[in-house]
Structure formats: structure tokens, C-alpha cells
């Protein structure tokens, strides 16, 4: 008897997973409609232990990574792929399969032929996306001249890596779902990094995506002209200035009119709103934004609706609630403008306290009237108006 298309795809994934000799990695992420998952994301990969190949299954509880190793036949793969994750990325040595499960429970599958290398090292810290001795990491100052990550830059290095770990599967699923065009050298993806600073993420996104045969052009925007000059000079030195460029501009006034993907890592305070506002107004298809410090809503939290003073009478808790309100309202504005939005923790809190990422894919879906109401009620309840609302004329 023929199965449902989704079940057929699960079985195809199981068959690929059942060959640990050629399995490279699996990432489960996102949540299917009306389903709850125990973890934000699960990573699985084969590792070599003394008694043979095992499957390492990892997830983060926000503070630290938990890993468990299973004999291949015992790994709970079949159960996990059916447990509510919306995206499955399965890489093997000859290619990859990415599955996105739609709201209606239909599978959108993208298969690619590519050569992927297995890394069976047990110690996860050795399985890096960015080789510290890569000349670009030395040029931008993350690594020293011996190709070792500078101690003062190790948190930034990890933030950038984890950002990329999320960017790539998000991008692949958005391409396979048709939310973003399939890039070619003639028609590459454009990525803008808003508030790029020393451009660690900007260069890393350019170099890593190109190394994965994803044609991209990348633009970094930062208000500081010294940053622009330094970054353009490094791009020249690396011989990549035809596909990466930097501009010294305010995000809100940038001359850049469009990009497929907007990224921002810790753009200060309302510069994050400028970045999201730019993404919405320029119709970016994908936005990955890790906010920085928040002051805008906190400064407006003067009339506290009871019984919330239970929280706000403690300074640190008021601050955290202000952060949550700010990001929740930013996300709701994006939702109301046709984005599917999630908040995810992109790195453990020990590497940065600013470890939340807003991930948004433009689907164009019209929001329910109830979502408009919830947004209005939240503003009325707290007597606040988010900076982003003004930027997008809400
Ligand atoms: C905390 S740094 C982060 C830099 C970089 N994204 C990173 O993670 O290393 C914030 C950067 O945003 C830039 N910035 C702040 N407000 C801005 C604005 N309105 N327009 C453009 N850049 C801005 C600052 O100059 C600074 O370089």
C-alpha cells in the first residue's frame, strides 16, 4: 500500500541514515504547526569511538550542549524526525536531502548532489565550519598569524560560526520551499549585514557560502567610515572585492535598496530596529537578526499594568521583561508583514548574553485578524510604541 508523501520522505531519510559510513550530519529544526518539540534543534552525526561508529545526538538547553552517543541501530532517528520538527537537513558523502514540512503537513524536498566530507572526530569542538587558519580569519583579525583563534576573539568566532550553522539550513529550506530564488553565478543571492562593524560575520558568510558552492554577493553596512575603509581594504587583499563591498552609511538611510537576505549581529539598540525595518521595507526574503542591547521599550515602561509590578519592581527583571517585550513586538510586526518568524537561541549564553536570534522567512501569508488584535492589545496594555512600528508605518 502506498504511504503518504511525507511518510515516503521519512522512509527515504531513514534509509540514508541507516548508512553511517556515508552519513555526514543531520539537523532537525523549526516546529511543525500545532506540534511541540522538546528541543529547539537537534544535531546528529556519526563519530568514531573505540568500539566502532556511533551516532552522536546533541541538543542545547540554552546554557550547555547535551550529547548522547548511540549504536547506529539504537539511534532514535525514526522517532525524532516524526516528533514535530519542520526542517530536516540530512547530508551524506554524495549529497544532501533537505525536507521542509509545510503547515498542511506536506513535504517539500530538495535533493542535491555534492561531495561532503565526514568528520568522525569525537570532540565536537574539532568539527568547525571555519578553519581558524583560513587566511580570511587571519586577515580580519579573528586568528593570529599562526592560524590560531585569538583568545580575545574566541567568543566572536563561535558566535559567527553558530550564526552560519543556522543561516545555511534556513537558506537551503527557503530555497527549496521557493521563498528564495535558486542562486547561480549569473544571479547570485545578495546578503546585507547591517551594522557589520569589523565584518567578522560579513566575511565569514561570504567565504563559507561560497565554499559551499552557493553564489553570493555580500554588502556590509556600518555607520563608521573607518570600518568601511578597513573592510574594503581587506576585501582587496583577499581578492574578493568583486563580490563583497562595504558602505559607510546609517542603516536607516542606506543607498542599498534591496537584498535577498538581511543579517545583523548585535547592531546596537534601535539599530536592530533599523535593520528589521530595512528588511521589511525592502522585502528581504530572509532575515536573521541577533539583537543587541535594548533601551527603547524599557524607557517607555512607565505605567506598569498590574499585577506585572511583581516583576518590574526588580530592576534586573524589568530589564529582561523589557527585552522580551521588545523582541516579541518586533517579531509580531514581522509576522503581520507576511514573515514566518521564530525566536531561537543561536549560541550558549556563556559566549554572549545576547544570544537570541530572530529568524524570519517571508512567506507572504496574510496574518489572522486575531494576530493584529494581540499586537494592539499588547501596545495598549503597556502603553508603549516600538521604534520599529514607526519605521514600517504601523
Ligand atoms: C556591537 S557592534 C557589532 C558589530 C558586528 N555586527 C559584530 O557582531 O561584530 C554594532 C555596530 O553597529 C554599528 N551601528 C550602530 N548603529 C548603526 C546605524 N544606525 N547604522 C549603521 N551602523 C550602526 C556600530 O558602528 C557598530 O559597528
In the chain, the domains with their CATH numbers are 5-126 (no CATH), 135-391 (3.40.50.150)
Half-sphere exposure of 163 (CA within 13 A, CB side): 33
Q: What is the pLDDT of residue 51?
A: 86
Number of neighbouring beta carbons within 10 Å of residue 331? 20
Cα–Cα distance between 342 and 124 in angstroms, integer? 26
Cα–Cα distance between 53 and 121 in angstroms, integer? 11
Does the beta carbon of 14 lie inside 6 Å of ligand 1?
no
Is the Cα dihedral 274, 277, 281, 286 positive or negative?
Answer: positive
- Give the residue whose CA is nearest to atom 23 of ligand 1: 195
Q: What is the pLDDT of residue 118?
A: 85
Cα–Cα distance between 373 and 394 in angstroms, integer? 13
User: Could you tell which of 202, 222, 275 is best to mutate to test the pocket of ligand 1, judged by most ligand atoms within 8 Å of the CB?
Assistant: 222
- Give the residue whose CA is nearest to atom 27 of ligand 1: 197
Does the beta carbon of 223 lie inside 6 Å of ligand 1?
yes
Specify whether the CB–CB gap between 273 and 158 falls below 8 A. Answer: no
- Give the residue whose CA is nearest to atom 18 of ligand 1: 250
Does the beta carbon of 266 lie inside 6 Å of ligand 1?
yes
Render each residue's pLDDT in the chain as its tens digit; 394 residues. 468 999 999 999 999 999 999 999 999 988 899 998 888 789 899 999 988 899 999 886 544 568 899 999 999 999 999 999 999 999 999 999 999 999 999 999 999 888 888 888 776 554 688 989 899 999 999 999 988 999 999 999 999 999 998 898 889 888 988 899 999 999 999 999 999 999 999 999 999 999 988 999 999 999 999 999 999 999 999 999 999 999 999 999 999 999 999 999 999 889 999 999 999 999 999 999 999 988 899 999 999 999 999 999 999 999 999 999 999 999 999 999 999 999 988 887 777 888 899 999 999 998 889 999 999 999 999 999 999 999 998 8
Cα–Cα distance between 69 and 80 in angstroms, integer? 15
What is the number of the ligand 1 atom nearest to the C-alpha of 250? Answer: 20
Cα of 212 to ligand 1 centre, how many Å?
A: 27
Q: What is the pLDDT of residue 293?
A: 85
Cα of 149 to ligand 1 centre, how many Å?
A: 22
The set of cell numbers assigned to 222 is 556600518
Q: What is the pLDDT of residue 123?
A: 61
User: Could you tell which of 157, 195, 250, 388 is best to mutate to test the pocket of ligand 1, judged by most ligand atoms within 8 Å of the CB?
Assistant: 195
Cα of 199 to ligand 1 centre, how many Å?
A: 10
Q: What is the pLDDT of residue 125?
A: 52
Q: What is the pLDDT of residue 25?
A: 93
Q: What is the pLDDT of residue 62?
A: 46
Amino acid at each position: 500500500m502506498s504511504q503518504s508523501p511525507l511518510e515516503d520522505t521519512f522512509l527515504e531519510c531513514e534509509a540514508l541514515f541507516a548508512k553511517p559510513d556515508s552519513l555526514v550530519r543531520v539537523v532537525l529544526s523549526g516546529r511543525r504547526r500545532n506540534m511541540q518539540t522538546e528541543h529547539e534543534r537537534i544535531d546528529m552525526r556519526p563519530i568514531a569511538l573505540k568500539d566502532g561508529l556511533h551516532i552522536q545526538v546533541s541538543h542545547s538547553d540554552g546554557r550547555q550542549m547535551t550529547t548522547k552517543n548511540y549504536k547506529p541501530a539504537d539511534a532514535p532517528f525514526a522517532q525524532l524526525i516524526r516528533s514535530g520538527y519542520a526542517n530536516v537537513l540530512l547530508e551524506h558523502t554524495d549529497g544532501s536531502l533537505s525536507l521542509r514540512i509545510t503547515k498542511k503537513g506536506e513535504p517539500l524536498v530538495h535533493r542535491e548532489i555534492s561531495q561532503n566530507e565526514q568528520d568522525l572526530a569525537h570532540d565536537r569542538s574539532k568539527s568547525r565550519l571555519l578553519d581558524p587558519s583560513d587566511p580570511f580569519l587571519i586577515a580580519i583579525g579573528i586568528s593570529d598569524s599562526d592560524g590560531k583563534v585569538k583568545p580575545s576573539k574566541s567568543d566572536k568566532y563561535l558566535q559567527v560560526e553558530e550564526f552560519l550553522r543556522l543561516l545555511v539550513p534556513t537558506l537551503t529550506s527557503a530555497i527549496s520551499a521557493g521563498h528564495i530564488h535558486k542562486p547561480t553565478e549569473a544571479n547570485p543571492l545578495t546578503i546585507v549585514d547591517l551594522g557589520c562593524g569589523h565584518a567578522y560575520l560579513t566575511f565569514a558568510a561570504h567565504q563559507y557560502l561560497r565554499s559551499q558552492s552557493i553564489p553570493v554577493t555580500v554588502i556590509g553596512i556600518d555607520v563608521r567610515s573607518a570600518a568601511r575603509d578597513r573592510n574594503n581594504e581587506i576585501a582587496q587583499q583577499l581578492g574578493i572585492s568583486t563580490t563583497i563591498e562595504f558602505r559607510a552609511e546609517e542603516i536607516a538611510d542606506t543607498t542599498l535598496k534591496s537584498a535577498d537576505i538581511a543579517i545583523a549581529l548585535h547592531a546596537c539598540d534601535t539599530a536592530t530596529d533599523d535593520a528589521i525595518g530595512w528588511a521589511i521595507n525592502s522585502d528581504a526574503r530572509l532575515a536573521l537578526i541577533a539583537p543587541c542591547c535594548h533601551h527603547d521599550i524599557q524607557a517607555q515602561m512607565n505605567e506598569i499594568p498590574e499585577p506585572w509590578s511583581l516583576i518590574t519592581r526588580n530592576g534586573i527583571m524589568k530589564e529582561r521583561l523589557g527585552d522580551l517585550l521588545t523582541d516579541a513586538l518586533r517579531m509580531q510586526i514581522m509576522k503581520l508583514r507576511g514573515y514566518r518568524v521564530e525566536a531561537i537561541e543561536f549560541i550558549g549564553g556563556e559566549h554572549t548574553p545576547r544570544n537570541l536570534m530572530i529568524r524570519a522567512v517571508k512567506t507572504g501569508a496574510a496574518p489572522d485578524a486575531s494576530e493584529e488584535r494581540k499586537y494592539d492589545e499588547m501596545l495598549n496594555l503597556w502603553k508603549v510604541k516600538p521604534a520599529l512600528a514607526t519605521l514600517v508605518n504601523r
